[in-house]
Structure 1
């Protein structure tokens, strides 16, 4: 699952990715078998879902930049930022990703792209104003480890089942089948499709969120070990989490759909339930970094 770089290998992440894909595959097979048993022709839904998946996979970097209002910047426009990414790319032994900046006060960063040759690291003007060079390096190392782990590609593929289930649910709603239309005086096919699709969507959602939380921990670990400065990453996490709490609620709500991309989630008030979160709790991330720091000091 992980490309050849100098980022620390993470067997736990590889195992979790493999297990999640296997479980999603089982759910997918069961879902399609149920649709076939109900006499549903799901070819059109599969074609649409596959098309959406392909577009998302191939254009993830462009879509994310457009959605966040990010623009690529040259070394002349952002010499310090390019300098950090040049250094980390050399340290990691990986191609330099494209560099972008999003003009927003939200202190955050993200990396996206289907592979190392088609990746981009984007930071916001808000994070550039708030972090010092060491903290920013820790954040960018975290984001570049996502690229090395091919997290975007894996999460895109993992989302396929949820897309199919979501489309089937909408199909049942828009065609009126969910209201209980029956086939040959038999069971209410539409209602069954609606319930099964909803259940499959919920299962795939929980599985991908669990994988997302672990990949954030894996990125923290890999980034900290690459820079050998877990304390800098911990400082950045603490600072960003505190600053996000001061962002206006409206801005946080607008940013929440992009939580899966972000270095730290945009939340308003209390965090949502851990099972639904894209990121592990701040305390858990800091505890892991403290353990890494202690191990490096021994």
Structure 2
């Protein structure tokens, strides 16, 4: 994770330096918009995600078993209790969001509650609450800043070119600057996209490890992963497509059947890698390591 963040920093420095040389005033507008987007994501991610997933906060009286699992994890980890929510969808999944432990929410779907037993549910919720403890929402928001900014500048540059910037005979410098802006921004976006996805996969493995060590039952988490991944194949494609934009938040990615870009640039490690890590942790715990 440190290496990935270091590489993201290098890309950021190269990106800013290139813009300073090519067009120092071009990126200001896109930078302001990117900051506003990331500000909203950082401070209102819990509300935005819950609203988009049609999740609602539930009380201990409504969902005593679910609250009981969350309370047990909080007691084991000595962490403040997040808000607890449920999303009414058959896609079996869970997610956590919020910029810190006191401004966070953990949400499970009704499909997940129907399919997992209490021990497996505890493993999934421990994984999600590890994301909260690690401040993963804040980390990924900061890490994605360069990609958002570069993507906006690429779009603005292309739109300016389509409006005539690339074809002005009386001002060839303008066209060259626009081409350079689009090229630099596109390259920075592509590299930051790949690095951010890699960072996301590392943080998923970290959350798996934290949950397995906290609960002391890596096999339960492995069982939940296997069960959820298997059940995804039975979910209607339209439901999976509706859930795919939130894969970065989910416990397991909602992937449509067949080949997709999501399988190439996934926010999550492969099921095999996650299970292998959990098996290794199980061996360590059995040996008392």
Q: TM-score, normalised by structure 2?
A: 0.93
Greater alpha carbon shift after TM alignment, 34-43 vs 68-77: 34-43
What do you get for the CA RMSD once the two structures are aligned?
1.6
Q: Where does residue 217 of structure 2 map in the other structure?
A: 229
Q: After superposition, where does 1:47-126 map in structure 2 within 5 Å?
A: 47-126=32-111
Tell me by how many angstroms 1:295 deviates.
1.5
Q: Where does residue 146 of structure 2 map in the other structure?
A: 161
SS of aligned partner of 2:172: coil
The reply on whether 1:28 has 2:25 as its aligned counterpart is no
User: Quick one: structure 1 residues 271 and 113, their matched pair in 2 at CA, closer, same or farther if it must change by over 3 Å?
Assistant: farther
Structure-2 separation of matches of 1:66 and 1:280: 27
8 Å CA contact 2:23–2:181 kept in 1: the answer is no
Q: How many residues align?
A: 282
Q: 2:265 aligns with which of 265, 268, 276?
A: 276
Greater alpha carbon shift after TM alignment, 254-263 vs 37-46: 37-46
Unaligned runs of 5+ in 2: none
Structure-2 separation of matches of 1:142 and 1:31: 35
Q: Where does residue 46 of structure 1 map in the other structure?
A: 31
The reply on whether 1:264 has 2:252 as its aligned counterpart is yes
Per-residue CA deviation, residues 105-156 of structure 1 (Å, 9 max, x unaligned), is 0000000100011110000000000000000000000000001111110000
User: Quick one: structure 1 residues 272 and 289, their matched pair in 2 at CA, closer, same or farther if it must change by over 3 Å?
Assistant: farther
Unaligned runs of 5+ in 1: 1-15
Structure-1 separation of matches of 2:225 and 2:244: 17
Structure-1 separation of matches of 2:186 and 2:165: 15
Q: Where does residue 166 of structure 2 map in the other structure?
A: 180
Tell me by how many angstroms 1:95 deviates.
0.3
SS of aligned partner of 1:20: helix
SS of aligned partner of 1:100: strand
The reply on whether 1:214 has 2:202 as its aligned counterpart is yes
Structure-2 separation of matches of 1:253 and 1:179: 37
SS of aligned partner of 1:105: coil
8 Å CA contact 1:210–1:275 kept in 2: the answer is no
Q: 1:289 aligns with which of 278, 284, 288?
A: 278
Tell me by how many angstroms 1:36 deviates.
2.2
